[in-house]
């Protein structure tokens, strides 16, 4: 690896992390949301039962996340990306064979979920944060564009495959794509720049240190982080928002089609929403370099609440696309700004270990939103009450983010 390639290698890691997010989020969230109403109708299951598979998926993540995080810090992400792609592809393929609930729970809730955890933010974002300090906002913004890109790329092709070939055949196609892209992403992932004679932000070699050394960054250990108020306020903020985010993610397509809107227009609206999410990330990365990250989170979560209010009141395609505009422009920043907050508040060294603690909390929020919406739908016949709860969750998350000041030991110039 010569000096020129060293100076660019951090961005190769970003590309690998982008693909990891595309596969993890695209399969666990986007694809399952598109398949959701078709599987429920074909199998004759209630939406609450089908959504309950997300509970097991989050439980799987809660169990393995705290152990996987420190391992990623110590040994690097490459093996997890490779094994994660294998597990994710296997889980997607197994869903083509589902005929009873236990098969759904095993395929989606365990096998596919293990792959999604290994490819998700615990591996992707924590690794990218080690390669960048000055340019961290831009790097993580590009990394998390993998999620919104999945939202752009998948709904229309998946809807086409399901309608014309069947949902079982479509799951097989998803598994093949995962296997190919996972094999391409794994070799790009590296643990941290210091392992290769580099420093963060693309500086190669000690001869460049004085000219390019990034700002001093204080890193907190896992034990130090959990003793700060900022940690628990971020836990509250991100998980309140996650309750709404995951609930909307799973049920949005069903909500739209329940309003009498065609499958094609519903897929187009979701694609438009994710397109705006993708376009918003570069803009928000520039904003995050100038505005304290807690204020960015506050605005994003408030925008999520406003978007759902518009959706609840929408009675036409115009209202639907108004929701998609507001929600897309703010939702596009939520994942990356949240990830940026964890990196900026607590430093590079223990990111995997610190983020691993979050998985038990994500179990509650990530499974609670989808299941709550599914059960309320089965009881009431619509999503109005469930989506109203999501508005409240976003609003409370926005307030918690606003009061989450950086730890005193963190560099104030970077954070506030």
Across all residues in the chain, what is the average pLDDT? Answer: 83
pLDDT band with cut points at 50, 70 and 90 for residue 169: very high
Encoded tokens for 410: 């963190």
Strand partners, 198: 204
CA distances 317 to 78, 277, 320, 378, 405, Å, are 44, 19, 5, 25, 40
CATH code at position 70: 1.20.1250.20
Main-chain dihedrals φ then ψ at residue 334, nearest 5 degrees: -60, -50
Q: How far is CA 97 from the centre of its chain?
A: 27
The mean pLDDT value for 26-45 works out to 89
Query: pLDDT for 87-138, tens place per residue?
Result: 999 999 999 999 999 999 999 999 999 999 888 877 888 888 888 877 877 8
User: Helix, strand or coil for residue 196?
Assistant: helix
State residue 348's pLDDT score: 67
Pick from 77-81, 166-170, 249-253 the range whose average pLDDT is largest.
166-170
Residue 212 has pLDDT above 70, yes or no: no
Query: pLDDT for 277-317, tens place per residue?
Result: 888 888 888 888 888 889 999 999 999 999 999 998 887 88
Residue 216 has pLDDT above 60, yes or no: no
State residue 4's pLDDT score: 39
- Cα(131)–Cα(125) distance, integer angstroms: 10
State residue 412's pLDDT score: 41
Pick from 141-145, 160-164, 191-195, 331-335 the range whose average pLDDT is largest.
160-164
Q: At a CB cut-off of 8 Å and minimum separation 6, what does 385 contact?
A: 376
CB distance 266 to 162 below 8 Å? no
State residue 236's pLDDT score: 92
Number of domains in the chain: 1
CB distance 356 to 67 below 8 Å? yes
State residue 34's pLDDT score: 87
Percentage of the chain surpassing pLDDT 70?
91
State residue 91's pLDDT score: 95
State residue 414's pLDDT score: 41
- Cα(328)–Cα(326) distance, integer angstroms: 6
For residue 177, the enclosing domain spans 3-415
State residue 416's pLDDT score: 44
Single pTM value for the model: 0.71
Q: How far is CA 9 from the centre of its chain?
A: 24
Percentage of the chain surpassing pLDDT 90?
31
Residue 198 has pLDDT above 70, yes or no: yes
pLDDT band with cut points at 50, 70 and 90 for residue 209: very low
CA distances 236 to 223, 229, 230, 242, 396, Å, are 18, 11, 10, 10, 9
Q: What is the dihedral of CA 74, 122, 14, 281, to 10 degrees?
A: -150
């Amino acid at each position: 690896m010569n000096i020129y390639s060293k100076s660019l290698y951090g961005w190769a890691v970003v590309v690998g992390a982008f693909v990891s997010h595309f596969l993890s989020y695209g399969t666990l969230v986007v694809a399952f949301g598109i398949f959701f109403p078709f599987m429920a109708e074909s199998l004759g299951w209630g939406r609450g039962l089908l959504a309950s598979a997300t509970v097991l998926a989050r439980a799987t993540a809660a169990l393995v996340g705290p152990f996987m995080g420190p391992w990623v810090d110590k040994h690097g992400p490459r093996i997890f990306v490779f094994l994660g792609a294998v597990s994710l592809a296997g889980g997607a393929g197994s869903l083509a064979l589902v005929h009873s609930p236990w098969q759904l729970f095993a395929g989606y809730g365990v096998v596919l979920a293990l792959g999604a955890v290994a490819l998700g933010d615990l591996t992707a974002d924590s690794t990218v944060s080690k390669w960048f300090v000055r340019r961290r906002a831009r790097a993580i913004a590009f990394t998390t564009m993998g999620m919104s890109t999945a939202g752009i790329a998948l709904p229309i092709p998946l809807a086409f495959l399901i309608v014309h070939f069947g949902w079982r055949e479509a799951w097989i196609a998803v598994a093949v794509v995962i296997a190919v892209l996972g094999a391409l992403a794994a070799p790009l992932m590296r643990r941290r720049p210091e392992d290769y004679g580099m420093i963060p932000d693309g500086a190669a070699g000690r001869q460049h240190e004085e000219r390019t050394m990034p700002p001093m960054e204080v890193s907190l250990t896992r034990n130090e982080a959990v003793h700060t108020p900022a940690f628990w306020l971020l836990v509250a903020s991100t998980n309140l928002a996650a309750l709404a985010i995951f609930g909307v993610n799973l049920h949005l397509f069903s909500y739209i089609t329940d309003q009498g809107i065609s499958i094609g227009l519903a897929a187009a609206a979701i694609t438009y929403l994710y397109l705006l999410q993708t376009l918003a990330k570069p803009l928000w990365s520039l904003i995050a370099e100038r505005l304290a990250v807690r204020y960015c989170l506050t605005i994003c979560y408030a925008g999520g609440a406003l978007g759902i209010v518009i959706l609840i009141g929408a009675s036409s395609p115009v209202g639907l696309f108004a929701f998609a505009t507001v929600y897309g422009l703010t939702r596009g920043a939520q994942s990356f700004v949240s990830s940026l907050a964890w990196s900026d508040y607590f430093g590079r060294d223990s990111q995997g270990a610190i983020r691993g603690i979050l998985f038990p909390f994500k179990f509650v929020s990530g499974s609670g939103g989808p299941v709550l919406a599914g059960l309320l739908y089965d009881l009431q016949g619509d999503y109005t009450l469930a989506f109203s709860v999501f508005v409240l969750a976003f609003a409370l998350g926005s307030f918690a983010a606003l009061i989450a000041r950086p730890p005193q030991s963190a560099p104030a110039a970077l954070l506030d």
